[in-house]
Every structure is written in C-alpha cells, then in structure tokens.
C-alpha cells in the first residue's frame, strides 16, 4: 500500500511541476526566486561542463599552475611563456579565473586561485586531467556506447585487461602495461592516504596486494608500517616495473613480487591480509565472483580481505560514482561502480563473513570494506 501511495504521489508531483501555469507562478514568485536562480545555474553548469573541463585541460597542458607556483606574474609574461597571442591568452585566463582556477590580482598580475593551488599540490589530479583526453574520444557519441555499437573504444584500448577477451592478458605488450600502470601509480597516493587513515595494518604480518601494479600502495605501507612483509601480485608485464620501483624505494627486503593473473593462476597463500585496491570495479559481476572465490580459497581461517575503490550509493558521492565512473567504466569495458550493499552481497556469496564498511574521510575518493575468510 505504501508503494502504491508513493507511486501516485510521484505521478501527481510530476504533473504539477509540468503544468505551465504552475511553473510560471513559481518563476515569478519572489519567495522562490533564489531557488529558481540556483536551478538555472546548475542547469547551465551541466550544459557547459565540457567547456569548463577543457579550460582546465588547457591550463594543465600549458603548465599554468606550475608557472605561477612562485608568485603572480603578468598576462604578457604568461602569453610569451605559453606561445599564445595576448588576446587568446586573456580569454583563457578570464575563463580560468571565472572557474576559480586562477585569480586576477592588482596591477594586472595573474595568480593561483584556490582550486589551482589544490591541483598544483596534488599532482595525480593533473595526470587524470590529461588522461581524460582519451575518455573524451569515446564520449563524443555516448549513445553509441550505451547501445553497445562501439566494441572498440579508446579507453578499452588504454586499459586492455578490462576488455571482454575471456580474461586473456597474455597479449598485453610491456609498453601498454607501463602506460596504464603509470596512470594507476600516479593516482594511487590519493587512495592510499584514505586507506592508511582508516585501517590499522599493524595487526598483520604478511600482506598480499592483488593487482598491485607498480607496488605504489605497498611501498607506501612499508614507509608507514615497519612490521609486515608484503607481496605484489600482478601480470608479468607489470611485475617487472614493480621490481624496479621496489628496488628504487629500498624496501626489497620487505616487499616481494609474484607474477601471475588472478584469472589464470592460483593466488598465493600464507597471507593474513589480501588487498584489492581499485580492482573489482574494472570487472563484470561474474569476473568479480571468480576473483573473490579465489581470494577466499587462498586465505587462512580468519584471514582478512580489504577492498578499496570508488563505491556508489554514498550520500555526496553520486556525481563521482554514478555519473563519472558509471560512464567511464562503460567506455572502458565491463566494469561497473558498485554500492557497499552489492559488494557485501558478492562477498557473502563467496563465503566471507564479518563484512564491514569502514568510514573514510573522503568517500569521493574511495570506499573501504573489510571481510573475514
């Protein structure tokens, strides 16, 4: 009965909002004027969002934030430094200032806006902005992707392991593996920070980072936790890069590398914690079930699994999870952003227990779930 009442309430609500006379009354009312203006601004932001992102892309590509690191400079100096004519440079500066990326200071000087400061001090953001040029190629025609007409996408080629090729990763070249693992590695600190602020790794002695890429996450753990021994498990093409990074870090006595595919090879056992950092959302539900079943089989009794990745359904993260990652992962392959409840369900199906979602400081960057074998 409650569902029936809600259905009719929604239907009546929509009919009222679509009524021309009602909308005319609302739009002319002084009481509702702030709401109408806010709605108009939000709709305009939706319409012009691509232009905003391209202004940001131009700023990053021209290294504007870095050029302003040591203080404000004149528009003329920026124009010459970037090799762009004065009037065109002014157009970009005006747009960037309107978006809060830059600021126009006294005496014609241009300085960093607050958003520009954040982007400058968090290098992973600039890497992702440049990476988005690949995404834009696919989203020129989003309907084609939604209808499944475009089987080969730019993002799919960038992340070949996420394609529906019976999970065969043997054909990925070392060059391609380095390209995509570089992007993952550079953006990893944003996620690692949230994980380390939330989860206590002191209680673990041996940690296996499954799909650990260039070992960025475990190297960060080694810096903060002197006790546990760690192993990175990833494809041979990526593992070679991980070995280089571990050697550079000086943690080769505490971090090992194991080559393999979690679809084709057995997951090593003997670890009391296995981590899946930004792994599951790249894959379909069926593939995730295979991964979790393998992890469950490899863990000892009471061993733990830690999952960290962007998750849907969290208040305030809808734009990130449902809008951004929803379309990104569709263009990428078979991945999907999942809610905490969905991941909990998949974990229960795989035989895990004591499943808990942990509260992170910035859920827009990652969700966090821990479970016991």
d(CA 313, CA 238): 32
DSSP 337: -
Tell me: domain 124-372, CATH 3.40.50.150, correct?
yes
Rounded to an integer, the average pLDDT of 33-56 is 90
CB 132 within 8 A of CB 53: yes
Rounded to an integer, the average pLDDT of 176-205 is 86
Rounded to an integer, the average pLDDT of 221-226 is 91
Min mean pLDDT across 32-46, 68-82, 123-137, 150-164 is at 150-164
Q: What is the pLDDT of residue 299?
A: 95
Burial of residue 352, with CB atoms counted within 10 A of its CB: 0-12 exposed, 13-18 middle, 19 or more buried: buried
Residue 208: strand pairing partners: 231, 274
CATH fold of 32-121 reads Arc Repressor Mutant, subunit A (1.10.10)
Sorted by where each begins, the domain ranges of the chain are 32-121, 124-372
User: How many residues in the chain?
Assistant: 373
Give the closest residue to 263 by CA, choosing from 221, 211, 226: 211
Q: In which band, very low, low, confident or very high, does the pLDDT at 7 lie, cut at 50, 70 and 90?
A: low
Locate 60 and state its tokens.
Answer: 């990053």
* 343: CB partners within 8 A, 6+ apart: 280, 307, 311, 369
Q: Average per-residue pLDDT in the chain?
A: 89
Q: With a cut of 90, say whether residue 27 has pLDDT above it.
A: no
């Amino acid at each position: 009965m409650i569902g029936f009442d809600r259905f009719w309430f929604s239907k009546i609500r929509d009919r009222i909002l679509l009524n021309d006379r009602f909308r005319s009354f609302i739009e002319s009312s002084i009481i509702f004027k702030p709401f109408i203006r806010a709605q108009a601004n939000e709709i305009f932001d939706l319409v012009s969002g691509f232009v905003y992102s391209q202004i940001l892309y131009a700023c990053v590509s021209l290294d504007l934030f870095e050029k302003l690191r040591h203080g404000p400079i004149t528009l003329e100096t920026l124009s010459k430094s970037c090799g762009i004519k004065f009037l065109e440079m002014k157009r970009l500066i005006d747009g960037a200032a309107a978006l809060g990326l830059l600021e126009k200071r006294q005496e014609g000087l241009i300085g960093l806006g607050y958003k520009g400061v954040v982007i400058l001090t968090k290098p992973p953001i600039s890497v992702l902005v440049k990476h988005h040029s690949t995404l834009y190629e696919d989203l020129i025609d989003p309907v084609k992707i939604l209808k499944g007409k475009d089987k080969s996408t730019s993002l799919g080629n960038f992340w070949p392991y996420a394609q529906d090729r019976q999970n065969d990763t043997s054909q990925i070249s070392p060059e391609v593996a380095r390209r995509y693992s570089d992007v993952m590695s550079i953006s990893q600190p944003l996620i690692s920070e949230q994980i380390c602020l939330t989860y206590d790794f002191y209680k673990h002695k041996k940690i296996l980072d499954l799909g650990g890429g260039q070992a960025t996450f475990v190297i960060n753990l080694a810096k903060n936790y002197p006790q546990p021994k760690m192993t990175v498990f990833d494809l041979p093409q990526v593992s070679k890069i991980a070995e280089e990074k571990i050697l550079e870090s000086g943690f080769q006595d505490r971090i090992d590398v194991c080559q393999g595919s979690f679809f084709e090879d057995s997951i090593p056992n003997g670890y009391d914690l296995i981590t899946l950092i930004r792994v599951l959302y790249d894959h379909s539900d069926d593939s995730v079930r295979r991964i979790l079943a393998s992890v469950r089989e490899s863990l000892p009794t009471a061993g733990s699994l830690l999952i960290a990745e962007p998750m849907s359904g969290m208040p305030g993260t809808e734009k990130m999870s449902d809008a951004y990652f929803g379309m990104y992962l569709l263009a990428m392959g078979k991945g999907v952003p999942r809610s905490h409840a969905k991941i909990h369900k998949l974990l229960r199906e795989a035989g895990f227990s004591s499943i808990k979602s942990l509260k992170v400081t910035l859920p827009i960057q990652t969700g966090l779930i821990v479970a016991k074998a």
